[in-house]
Amino acid sequence: MKIRGYSYKQVEIEGLQMRPYPHQAAMLNEWKNNDSFLLVTKTGSGKTRATALPVLKNHESAVFVYPTNALIQDQAKAIKQLMKDEGISFYEWNSEKAQESFGTAEYVLVQISAASLNEFAKARGIRKSTALLDMLRPDKRKIILTNPDILYLIYSLRYCASSEALGHFQAYQTIVFDEFHLYGGVELAHALFLIYLAREMGAFQRVVLLSATPNPEVQAHLDRLISPLLIDASVKVPQPILCGEGRKIAHDVFLHPLPFSSDIVDITRTRVMKLFDELKSLKESNKAANSEGEYVPCIVILNSVVNAIALEDSLVESGIPRTEIAPIRGLSARSSRDVRGKTLVIGTAAIEVGIDFKTDYLIFEAGNAASFMQRFGRIGRHSEGTAFLLGDHRECQAVMSIGDDISRDDLERGITAIYPQQDARGWFVDTLCGSFTILAQGENFRKRILEDFSADDSMKSQIDEWLEETLNRYSEKMELSQMRRARRKIRRKPEWFEHYMEIDSFRTSLPNQEVWDVREKENERDWCYEADVKMLLTRAERLWYNEKHGRLYVKGYGKYRQVWFNKSFSEEREEDCCGILFTTAHYPTDKMQFKQEGHLTSVSHVMAKPNHHVFTLAPADIVSQLDWRLAWFPCGSPRGRYIIAFDGDALLLKEIYDLSKRNSRE
């Protein structure tokens, strides 16, 4: 099956070294005429350039927000290359250059994540809050690349220097959210209010949202919030279009089915082994690009982290040196993800968003239409390629029946009909719990202002009044029908809400735990990383805590293990416990623990210590309405009457349960 590549026409604009595509030219043309944009073009079509170019040409400072730290690093390269192409001098400020001055550079490029913030503070011998201020200080035109977690903490006043940081943001004219379609449910509610709050505080006069696969469900919220100008690949521009076919965006890709009935690891291993001699030759012929991390002969993307780990081990047992493999997955340290000098990359969803290096072969599995197109977009970006689709016989047969020689648009239409659509859960924004998430951020803001000893009573009163008005205006603008009800409930100061505020974060969900993976150490890799609690509970081999070292150890990951929550709630009536928000503070610690195969684990206490957490219950038969994004556990036993979810997942589960009740009555 051949999927034809495609080209974009180019535009000639006086004063530009690059020849932009029409959508890039349109962004530049409309930049000063609009305060919000939604840019929708395919993967690899230069969306970052389309936004960075008008920022640079209009001498602005901007904040670029990316959902993953890997994407921050990848897109920093794209922006640096653009500045080089356009002859704009820049200085990349990081921990290695923390003591140096910017010199005469026109722009300073700064990456801010939790790790880079700690490294920068350590290099300068200063507190983290001071380091944050230094990195944001508008003493030069700056391009800041960060993640939504950092931004959320600042706008919730969770850093000591948050109030000063908010002042610094007023010098940044533009904020850009890349891969905006990835935000759903609680995160979507947070992102929308974050945009509104920042603009109300005088920052980011211009908002730009980028997406290759936007979800129509979210569009109504965006229209109410910012009414963005939609720009896509079909846009017309007044500048002259250069003759010829244009610049190649995607090359031809030959897609082959790789059906499996049971063991996806074995079928993938077999295919990689058949290709390996060719992969070694490709690596040698692209030696320079490979050593720079710009080229890897083959990429494998699987849905399951455990399958990705098992595949790597299986390939090593088959004779491929582990040094030839780069793992890009959640359960690996950042340093282990270096693709330089590697023959093969084995990844999961962590690789599908924006990471760009040339490859000749792609072997991939997809769970929904959006992930299919995102993952398929990794191949054919720089040259022709070959892709193998891992799926059951029905999926493979359906995809192959789309056609023998088709365009990417034909492929996307066919995939949309075959694979399920991922629910963005845009409906959550206008729910009771959706309003709770907004109020939690607002109340955290209020609480920290009231605790600020440097502010007098008059100033505190003014800020309090401003916050009330801001929440009211946001509620009206977004037509949040449940906000008044939510505010009435919060005025009663329920204890669960106080505890939710304490752990509130952008991705409010199960906490991550720092683990030391003995298996990774045996593989001569960096063996310390963060892992989410559910993965540790359900897949970890020999999970134990060492009191002497103060470390949580794990010996790799394996088969699925039965995990349930210790408290059964079996004595409770459904109407007394399901869809109601509780706090772990009301229950004995020895009852609020996780069991794995009937035994307490070394992370059994995490939902009760050191902070209390919010939870809700739902009947076990609701599981069919959930997906992998919501972390839930059976209560009391593997076949308990109820399931339980915590924190942000608890709010989402409550709304799914309430919706199911309403639907059953209708």
Q: Where are the alpha helices (DSSP H) in 21-68?
A: 22-30, 47-57
The predicted structure's pLDDT at residue 353: 67
N-to-C CA span, the chain: 46
The more confidently predicted of residues 83 and 367 is 83
Confidence of residue 609 (pLDDT cuts 50, 70, 90): low
CA distance 267 to 485: 54
Whether residue 3 lies inside any domain: the answer is no
Specify whether 495 is located in the same domain as 527: no
The predicted structure's pLDDT at residue 468: 92
CA distance 81 to 94: 18
Residue 325 pLDDT > 90: yes
Specify whether 519 is located in the same domain as 498: no
Residue 320 pLDDT > 90: yes
Average pLDDT over residues 619-625: 93
Specify whether 210 is located in the same domain as 269: no
Confidence of residue 1 (pLDDT cuts 50, 70, 90): very high
Specify whether 493 is located in the same domain as 631: no
Average pLDDT over residues 70-78: 87
CA distance 236 to 76: 29
Residue 293 pLDDT > 80: yes
Mean pLDDT score across all residues of the chain: 91
Tell which residue, 320, 304, 312, has the closest CA to residue 337: 312
CA distance 56 to 509: 37
Whether residue 303 lies inside any domain: the answer is yes
Q: Give the residue carrying structure tokens 């919060």.
A: 490
Percent of the chain with pLDDT over 70: 98
Specify whether 172 is located in the same domain as 134: yes
Confidence of residue 13 (pLDDT cuts 50, 70, 90): very high
The predicted structure's pLDDT at residue 531: 87
CA distance 136 to 122: 17
Tell which residue, 121, 116, 118, has the closest CA to residue 99: 121
The predicted structure's pLDDT at residue 180: 92
Specify whether 258 is located in the same domain as 330: yes
Whether residue 399 lies inside any domain: the answer is no
Domain end residue (candidates: 179, 198, 232): 232
CB of 338 within 8 A of CB of 326?
A: yes
Task: Give SS3 for 384.
Answer: coil
Specify whether 176 is located in the same domain as 75: yes
Q: Identify the domain containing residue 276 by its residue range.
A: 250-391
Q: What is the CATH number of the domain that holds 158?
A: 3.40.50.300
CA distance 390 to 363: 7
The predicted structure's pLDDT at residue 314: 95
Q: Quick one: CA torsion of 492, 498, 500, 505, rounded to 10 degrees?
A: 120
**212-31-151 Cα angle (round to 5):** 60
The predicted structure's pLDDT at residue 354: 54
Specify whether 209 is located in the same domain as 74: yes
Residue 42 pLDDT > 90: no
Specify whether 544 is located in the same domain as 605: yes
What is the number of structural domains in the chain? 4
Residue 355 pLDDT > 70: no
Average pLDDT over residues 213-227: 89
Whether residue 244 lies inside any domain: the answer is no
Confidence of residue 148 (pLDDT cuts 50, 70, 90): very high
Neighbours of 504 (CB within 10 A): 23
Whether residue 488 lies inside any domain: the answer is yes
Least confident window among 98-107, 349-358, 490-499, 610-619: 349-358
Question: In angstroms, how far is CA 234 from the centroid of its own chain?
Answer: 28
The predicted structure's pLDDT at residue 146: 96
The predicted structure's pLDDT at residue 494: 94
Specify whether 80 is located in the same domain as 185: yes
CA distance 346 to 555: 20
The predicted structure's pLDDT at residue 591: 84
Specify whether 126 is located in the same domain as 219: yes
- Going across the sheet that includes 594-596, the strands are 563-565, 594-596, 599-600
The predicted structure's pLDDT at residue 49: 94
Residue 243 pLDDT > 80: yes
Confidence of residue 453 (pLDDT cuts 50, 70, 90): low
CB of 187 within 8 A of CB of 196?
A: no
Whether residue 126 lies inside any domain: the answer is yes
Q: Which residues pair with 557 in a beta bridge?
A: 540
The predicted structure's pLDDT at residue 606: 78
Specify whether 490 is located in the same domain as 520: no
Whether residue 425 lies inside any domain: the answer is no
Confidence of residue 97 (pLDDT cuts 50, 70, 90): confident
Whether residue 349 lies inside any domain: the answer is yes
DSSP 578: B
